[in-house]
Amino acid sequence: MDGRGDASKLTSQELNQLKFAQERVQYYYKGSVSKKDTIVVSGPLQVTNPWKFVQQKFRLEKCFGPELFFGMELAGYFPDKKFMFIKRSQGGTSLYGAWNPNWSIEKASLIKEQDKPQLFADMIKVVDAQLKSLSPNEYELAGMLWVQGESDSGKRFGPLPSETYGLHLQQLIESVRSYYKRPDLPFLMLNVGGGKVIDGMEETSKKVHNVTLIKRSKNPSNPNYTPIYTHNWNGKPAGHYNYTGMKKIGQLFFEAYVNNYVTFITE
């Protein structure tokens, strides 16, 4: 998830939190719309300058994704630790196609992603490149966050993307853990999408060790409520999580991580 949280709504207290986190959290982000349209951010944890169409559609100048409040909360909870966040994203892409660890032209073509990057392979490439700046005894992989599922949930390309989501999700987790030789690597995901995609997430979280499904809510009275933008764009709801919703998603990831995997940082 690139993230469309409106950074102009960050309070003075939150900006102070971010300043504190920036001394502890390094951030590398590669976000793309197409092969020619890529945003790269490298440095301390920060908000980003979005693409022009994002600025126009969501009426913002700078934005943030789940990593911002996850990092701010993490830095506050572990003030003596250093972190590196490595993020790869491209909106509107599927696990069946672009993110599939067992990518094939047939699968990518089914979901009209044959011209999109092979994102799983590129994610590994991005992570490896950043880790090379550190010596092996300087770091320990402590987890992976996953916010994806909407592109596989629809029926536009038939039932296969949603029906096989759980299988492909398990393959993705296994592939990351196997490649980095971390069979216990924590994997946390948000319940985005619907139908059999959510069923696949549920099944995976129950079946696979150290996998946590975080359940957001559309109900304003629910403590896990993640609101979205309500204005229209080109005659349709703009959608996507607003400042409050994106903030909550980051906090939910932090709470789930600390409640389930704190030993991966403290040991």
For residue 249, what pLDDT is reported? 98
**Bridge-based pairing state of the strands 83-89 and 25-34:** parallel
pTM, entire model: 0.96
C-alpha distances (whole Å) from 178 to each of 20, 39, 89, 191, 206 are: 34, 29, 21, 24, 20
pLDDT in tens, 73-99: 999 999 999 999 999 999 999 999 999
Segments in the chain below pLDDT 50:
none
Instruction: For domain 5-266, give the CATH number.
Output: 3.40.50.1110
d(CA 207, CA 157): 27
